[in-house]
Amino acid sequence: MLIAGLEMRLGPDEGTQESLPSLRVTRNELRTSDIRTSEGRAHGATKVVSIVGARPNFVKLAPVHRTLVEHFDHIVVHTGQHYDYSLSKIFFQHLNLPDPDYELGVGSGSHGYQVGEMMKKVEEVLLSERPRIALVYGDTNTTLAGALAAAKVRVPVAHVEAGLRCFDMEMPEEVNRVLTDHMSRYLFAPTKTAVENLLREHCQGEVLLTGDVMVETLRDSTKLAERESHVIDDLGLRSSPYILVTVHRAENTDDRHRLSSIVEALTRIEKRVVFPIHPRTVKALEEHGLYGKLTSRRNVTTTQPLGFLDFIKLEKHASMIVTDSGGVQKEAYLLGVPCITLRETTEWVETVREGWNRVVGVDVEKITRAVETFKPRRRRGRVFGTGKASKKIAEALTKAIN
């Protein structure tokens, strides 16, 4: 049901167990870079846990952490879903996040393996720390594993970015977000559409329209990126407009036909193309014999995955973004950059309704035509809120616990 006065209460015994297993994961020592105060911990501040593991989780965690640390002993658990430095640690640095309290080191593997290993290790942390609430973010395997582990040991789950739907259950992310929403006690929805989805599905948790935390992340990071990042000069982009491309979703990388169509479209585009390539995408391009075709084009510049500040700067200065990423679609809208989405559906329907995102799938003609002709005609609204989502989340959790 929709939260009215935020009247949420926890029972005194929720989130505890009678006995604990011998732990194989241990909490890291506090570092001087940790922005939390030792004084707050010394006085027995209430514990809440955030479970993250991939880039989409990290960028949502940043503003929430800075707010929660004012009220709680906020414990950060990193599952290791993204273990490559460029996809993980560098984001903590650029987002001014402290080192995680727990690094579980799960790493790569099939969906089932990842979720299973994460659940086992997250459960150990929860049984040891006994937090009052566990927060999960977005729609990654880490999100689902964290929610499942918490639900099984009766720690209430709070889902940040609840209620998104693209209505395609063949997408792993859709499975993750739907299941997580139905396990969560507290559902923090970024948009009115997300609230409507949750109510339509009769999710049992308390629903609160918070706005989107990415408004805060981009507000805090864009100026820093302008000052600190040299990626525009490093790639020689200062004097020429360019299209920024990202492709990483399994539906595109694992299907040779779809990936081949995307590459064919990119090779037909006459404008400058900048393509930071996800490791899984590189592997798929090589396996399907497409890597050489892509990189041989003089107008295509490929790079390794970029740090958050470099990527934000590339997004901001692009003339257009072509992507299959949900997060990048939203970032494009917030930064005022036209977006072409290489999927059949999108969870960010507001960006399409507002006229800043065109969903074209992987049809070569549709992609190239959209790149040539798509120009948003409407001004952007505040469909993702006004930058107060993390404050609303902290207030709701404080009322829930007290």
3-state secondary structure of 247: coil
Is residue 248 part of the annotated active site? The answer reads yes
As given in the structure block, the two tokens for residue 146 are 């964290």
pLDDT digits (tens, 9 = 90+) for 182-239: 999 999 999 999 999 999 999 999 999 999 999 999 999 999 999 999 999 999 998 8
DSSP H or E segment with residue 242: strand 242-246
d(CA 265, CA 167) in angstroms, rounded, equals: 26
Model pLDDT, residue 13: 37
Q: Please, which contacts does 121-125 make with residues 24 or more away whose CB atoms are closer than 8 Å? A: 121/24, 121/25, 121/79, 122/51, 122/77, 122/79, 122/146, 122/149, 122/150, 123/149, 123/152, 123/153, 124/21, 124/23, 124/24, 124/25, 125/25, 125/49, 125/75, 125/77
Per-residue CA distances from 77 to 73, 134, 162, 271 (Å):
13, 10, 20, 42
| Residues of the chain falling short of pLDDT 70 | 1-24, 29-44, 83-87
What does each C-alpha distance from 151 to 137, 146, 214, 334 come to in angstroms?
A: 15, 9, 26, 34
Active-site pick, 65, 248, 278, 317: 248
User: What pTM, to 2 d.p., does this model score?
Assistant: 0.89
The residue type at 250: A
Whether 73 contacts 35, CB under 8 Å: no
pLDDT for res 4: 36
**Which CATH entry fits the domain spanning 220-373: 3.40.50.2300, 3.40.50.2000, 3.40.50.300, 3.30.1360.120?**
3.40.50.2000
Q: Give residue 24's pLDDT.
A: 65
Domain ranges of the chain: 38-212+385-401, 220-373
Question: Would 38-212+385-401 and 220-373 be classified into the same CATH topology?
Answer: yes
pLDDT of 144: 98
Q: How far is it, in rounded angstroms, from Cα 71 to Cα 56?
A: 24
Determine the pLDDT at residue 27.
Answer: 79
If one looks up domain 38-212+385-401 in CATH, what number appears?
Answer: 3.40.50.2000
Query: What local confidence, expressed as pLDDT, does residue 39 receive?
Result: 35
Rounded Cα–Cα distance for residues 309 and 229 (Å): 6
